[in-house]
Amino acid sequence: MRSIVTLLVFLALVALAAFFGAHFQPGPWFEGLAKPSWNPPNWVFGPVWTLLYLGMAVAGWLVWKRSGEHVTPVLVVWFVQLGLNAAWSWLFFGLHRPPLALVDILALLACIVAFAILARRISPAASWLFVPYALWVSFATVLNATIWRLNP
């Protein structure tokens, strides 16, 4: 039972980050920006992020469970990436600051990779759950940089 409760806590933490980020929608400002031809349609982001958030929560929970339910350095990295993830939408869509969002997403990508590497010894499954996340955020990083370049 305790294991289910902690999984729910990790799911709630991720949901809070997603909820915060969802307050900052693309809107008219984003629609007016020049974007590359390979920019995905807006409807793609919701389903992709839903799956990534679920994987993120399960990965954090697996590491927590296998770390003897202690906050370890790898979990600190997990929490930092969660904060950086939530901050990106605020920086990009809320403040309309693609350069600051790019700094944030580069730090986020570094944390994602660090978590995947550090978690591998503790829970290979947790590490693998971060691979699609790393790939998507890599794509989003290039997209962020390209949008900034196209809209100086």
CA atoms of 135 and 141, how far apart (whole Å):
10
Could you tell me the pTM of the whole model? 0.94
Residue at 30: amino acid letter: F
Q: Which two tokens stand for residue 97?
A: 């600051």
Output the pLDDT for position 3. 85
Output the pLDDT for position 1. 75
Output the pLDDT for position 135. 98
CATH classification of the domain holding 62? 1.20.1260.100
Domain count, the chain: 1
Helix (H), strand (E) at residue 12 = helix 2-22
- Binning the chain into helix, strand and coil, the percentages to the nearest 5 are 80, 0, 20
Q: Taking the chain (152 residues) in consecutive chunks of 10 residues, what is each chunk's mean pLDDT?
A: 90 97 93 97 94 98 90 95 98 98 98 98 97 98 98 93
Q: How far is CA 30 from the centre of its chain?
A: 20
